[in-house]
Every structure is written in structure tokens, then in C-alpha cells.
Structure 1
Amino acid sequence: MDVGDVLWTVLGAGLILLMLADVFRTLLYPHGSGPVSRAIMRGLWLLTRRLRGRASTIAAPLAMAAVIGAWAGLAVIGWALLYLPHLTDGFVYGDGVPQEADFAEALYISLVTLSTVGYGDIVAAYPLLRLVAAFQAVTGFGLLTATVSWILQMYPALSRRRALAHELNLFREAAGPEGVASLDPRHAAGLLESLARNVASVSIDLLSFHETYYFHEVEQRGSLPATVAYAHGLASDAERSENPDLQFAGRMLHASLDHLAEVLRGKFGHQGTTSSAVFDSYALHHKHKQPREPDTE
């Protein structure tokens, strides 16, 4: 192998390692996300936020598809670069198959191997190349199952977030403008404790599946960014109550909301020294709150 072949091999191995590291950080590492997936998700989110209409509603699904495509692309190109220096001497060609030594041929071999199709028209001749091809086939199968699992894990987390938003809206409609004051203190305390548990679940979902943050809800009824401020108000009202049970429930809900605000601040860069300010920023980013007009006085 000459210097050029060594460079192609090193570059290919680097792309493969980048893909594996990104998949590990995104799918297997708790509370993590790979650099490739994070850049794609955030980039498409920022792009669609500048567009009018419902473009932001397709940002997250489109970004997830782009992440999966990026993983597959890195794998295909990486292994193609590994095969390229060994064309055509390192492979056995079937009858009638033209022997080419260009990148397109290496890309074809890589695609067939990664997808585990295995036509058998071109197979590795050297033992080491056969091991490399077998490892790529295993990686391709693992990548397929991992991405399917990733997609299936997203939607339960989204359902929990939407259910919390609906629950807050139902509470607001049933309690009216008086809020917790219109309810029996013990009954209100039980409801607030249930809300606190649900808020905690959403915080864990955002840490474990950061991609769910970028799913935008058009209707405010199912949008947590549009309703979380109401939960903060309920917690404050409960803490001012004279009933000990309701006070404890208010503190519990307040603590859960503070943790959610800390996740939004630390994980997604929302600014604000208080939880209320973070929630305002959260609603603004998801287009459920208008930016404040500058003071003209």
C-alpha cells in the first residue's frame, strides 16, 4: 500500500469510528447525544424556526430521518474507503462482472455488505478483508435494529409530555380562575402531587431523549411550553395556602418544576435566573409566546 492508500484507510476508519461513537452516545449512553445527531437536530430546528407556517412541526421527524441517513452514509463511505485500496486484487469477481477499481465500485460493495443483501457477485478474497466485510454486515444489522428502537422510544416520551399538557389544561378548565382555592385542600394536594410526578417524568424524558425537545406542538392544548407556566402558578398558590398538605404538595410541584427548568437551562441553553424566566424562554422558542416589545420610554 502506498501513502495514498494509507490515507484512504485512515480516513475510512475515522468515519466508521465517528459513526459508532455517535450511535453509542445517542442511543446507548444515558443522558447523552452524539455530535453528529446533536448538530443535525439543532440545525434543522433553528432553520425551521425562521420559517412561517407549520414547518417547525416537521423539523424533528425530518431531523431524525437525517440523523439515520447520516449514520448510514458515514458507515457506507467509511467502509468504501477501506475497500478502495484493495480493488481489484483483494476481491473475487463473478463471471461477467466488470472489474473496476474506482470509488463507485467500492461504494457498491459497501452498500451491499452494510445492507446484508449479499449478492455474491463480488466477495473479499483475503482473510482480513472477509473479516472486515463480516463486521460491516453485523454493524449494518445492528444499526437497523438500533434506529428502529430509537424511533419507538421517542413516542412514549412525547405522549407523556402531551398528556401532562392536557392534564394541566383540564385542571385549569375545571378549577376556573380561583385555581386550587376552589378545591378541597386534600383533594387539591393529591392532584398537585400527581402533577409533580408527571413533571419529573418529563424532565427525565428530556434528559434521556433530548430529541423529543425539538418536537413542536401546533395546538397549545397539547403543548407543554404553552402550559407549564400555569403549573408554576399552581405551585406558588399552593405554597401560600394555610393547609399543610397543600403547602407540601406545592413545594413538591415547585421542586419538580425547578428541576425541569434546570434541564431546559443546562441541556438546551435557555436563559433565565428564575424558573419563570426559563419557562418564558421555553414558550418563546416553541412559538407559544410572543417576544416582548422593546421599551420605548
Structure 2
Amino acid sequence: MNGWISVVGAVVVMVILRDVFHTLWHPTRRGGLSRIVIVALWRLSARTGPRRRAAGIVGPLGMACVMAMWACGVALGWAVIYWPHMPEGFVFSSALEPAEHSRPVDALYVSLVMVGTLGLGDIAPAESWLRVVAPLEALVGFALLTATVSWVLGVFPSLARRRTLALRICHLRRAALTDEELNSDAGAAVLDALAGDVARVSVDFAQYPESYYFHDGTSGSALAPNIGYVAELTDRTRNSRHPRTRIASAVLAAALDDLATVLDERFLRTRGERPRILAAYARDHGVEAPHTDERE
């Protein structure tokens, strides 16, 4: 029976590690538990209305909850592994009475000491297999800390790139470029730069899907209400007589299609065409749909 209890603990640890792997190191797949936590917070925030959602705590709060879930899950899983083998599988300091320190809370204490690499030494593994398993927990704890720090450091630059693109689109909108200005080498260069920026944002959404649930700030720095203007630019330059502008417009349209595909497959599930997906993206972020043709 004790062996089966330890197996349950090992299964808990493996489930958590699998979620960490698919969330941080295998971006073509989505983590199961982490996605459930963040999406649940996002949908809960939607019930408070778009304006309250604009407070923008869902993204950072969701990541904090996921990291806490990972740490607690690993610690609890290893505690379940240790508990059936206490006290005979461990050695205790002279100040402790083994029979009085073999409860589940003591197993959790040992697990937290191991995962935190504290090495207090008042309770230490004695059986040979435990002397191997316990240091493995310390290694997992160190790897988990490193991975979560890298996760945070990766997500926030992706947010900066997205907000930079939104500001760039706003600047172009305020500049009110004419068709004559767009149908030139300078206009083609603008469209080329936009295509590159849109492609980078598509990669960011695929690499860091949790960034979707972060607030972008005001409408001037948010991508959702502004991305429709990029689609408008492609419509205006699609049949340009200027060869470079026409090519740049086609590349930009392809980049927008890729962005819409990523948004739909990972977050929205509309199974519609690009205009419908971009409109759904805007609505999901509590803003008015971008000005695009809704016909599919």
C-alpha cells in the first residue's frame, strides 16, 4: 500500500513537469493545467465588463498563479512520495523524536527543504533510493526556478514588441498617407516594415500564448483596436501600379493571414476568415471591432 501512495506522488510530479515542459519548452503545444488557469481567470474577468478587465491584472496574475501551482504541485508530489517511508526511511537529528515527526506535514516540510535546496539536515533520507530521489527534487526545484524566471523575461519583451507595433499603426493612421504616397518606394518600405513587425507578433503569440491575456494599455498602444487599419492598407495597395508596393502589400496580407490563423487556432476558435477573426480579437479584448469588411 505504501508503494502505491508513493506512485501517486510520482504521478503528480510527472503531471506538473509535463505541464512545465509544454508551457515553456515546447511552444508548438499548449500546457494543459497552465492554460486552464489563465483562461479561467480571463473568462472570469470578462464577467466584470470590458472596462474592469482593462485594469490588466489577468496576465500577470495568471502567470503568478501558474508558477505557484507548479511549485506547490512539485512539493506536494514529493511529499506524498516521502510520507509512507517516514520515519524508517529517514534519519532525524537528536533534537527530534522520529515518531512525533512522521506526519504528512513533516513530509511536506522535508519536500520544501529539498525543493528549496535549503539543506537544513534535521531530517535527511537514509534509504538508498531516497538518497537518490531527494537530490533529484533539489535539481527539479532549481530548474523550475530558472525556467520560470526565463519565462517572465521572455514574455515582457514580447509585450513590448506588440505595443510598439500598435503605436506604429497609430502613427500611420494619424499620418493619413494618401494612395499616391503609398504607391511609391517609401510606401513600399513602410508596408515591408509593417509585415516584419506583424510576423514577429505572430511568433510571439505562438511562443508565449500567455501574452495574449495581458492588457495592452490605452487604445493608442493596444493592438486589438488598431490591427484593422493594417488590413485597410493592404486593401488600398493590393492592386497598386507600383511593383514594389504591390509586392509589399501581398507580403503584408500574408503576414496578417498568419497572425489571424495563430489567434484563431490558439485563442478564438471562430473558424472564420481574417476579418471575422480580427473582429473577434477586438471584442475579446473589450474594444470595438476594427474597421474591416465582415464578409467571408
Tell me the TM-score range normalised by the shorter chain: over 0.9
Structure 1 runs, 4 residues or longer, greater than 4 Å off: none
Between 1:186-195 and 1:54-63, the stretch displaced more is 54-63
1: distance between equivalents of 2:232 and 2:53? 31
Distance 1:172 1:55 in 2: 26
Corresponding position of 2:141: 140
Amino acid at match of 2:26: Y
Match of 1:164, as an amino acid? Answer: L
Amino acid at match of 1:63: G
User: Does the aligned pair in 1 maintain the 2:158–2:204 contact within 8 Å?
Assistant: yes
1:10 maps to a residue whose letter is V
Contact conserved, 1:22 with 1:37, CA < 8 A, in 2?
A: yes
Is 1:34 paired with 2:31?
Answer: yes
**Number of residues paired by the alignment?**
286
- Paired with 2:285 and 2:180, the residues of 1 have a C-alpha distance of 31
- Higher RCO (Cα < 8 Å, 6 or more apart): 2
Name the CA distance, whole Å, in 1 between partners of 2:182 and 2:242: 12
Question: What RMSD, in angstroms, separates the aligned Cα atoms of the two structures?
Answer: 1.6
Alignment partner of 2:226: what SS? helix
Structure 2 letter corresponding to 1:264: L
Corresponding residue for residue 264 of structure 2 = 265
Q: Within 5 A, what are the aligned runs for 1:170-209?
A: 170-175=171-176, 178=178, 180-183=179-182, 185-209=184-208
Is 2:183–2:240's contact at 8 Å kept on the other side of the alignment? no
The CA deviation at 1:6 is 2.5
| Cα drift, residue 182 of structure 1 | 4.1
What SS does structure 2 have at the residue aligned with 1:225?
Answer: coil
TM-score of the aligned structures, taking structure 2 as reference length? 0.92
Is 1:61–2:46 an aligned residue pair? Answer: no
Distance 1:272 1:129 in 2: 51
CA offsets 1:152-193 (integer angstroms, 9 cap, x no match): 0001111111110000000111125x4x44446211111001
Residue 11 of structure 1 is matched in structure 2 by 8
TM-score by length of 1: 0.92
The answer on whether the counterparts of 1:175 and 1:182 sit within 8 Å (CA) in structure 2 is no
Indicate if the aligned counterparts of 2:169 and 2:230 stay in contact, CA closer than 8 A: yes
Letter in 1 for 2:149: V
Specify the SS of the correspondent of 2:124: strand
Q: CA deviation at 1:247?
A: 1.3
Q: 1:290 Cα shift?
A: 6.5
**Cα offset, 1:98, TM superposition:** 3.5
The correspondence of residues 134-283 of structure 1 with structure 2, limited to 5 A, is: 134-175=135-176, 178=178, 180-183=179-182, 185-271=184-270, 273-283=272-282
> Quick check: 2:182–2:237 contact (8 Å CA) kept in 1?
no
Does 2:79 correspond to 1:83?
no
3-state SS in 2 of match to 1:226: coil
Match of 1:295 in 2: none
Unaligned runs of 5+ in 1: 292-297
- What is the CA-CA distance between 1:41 and the residue it aligns to? 1.2
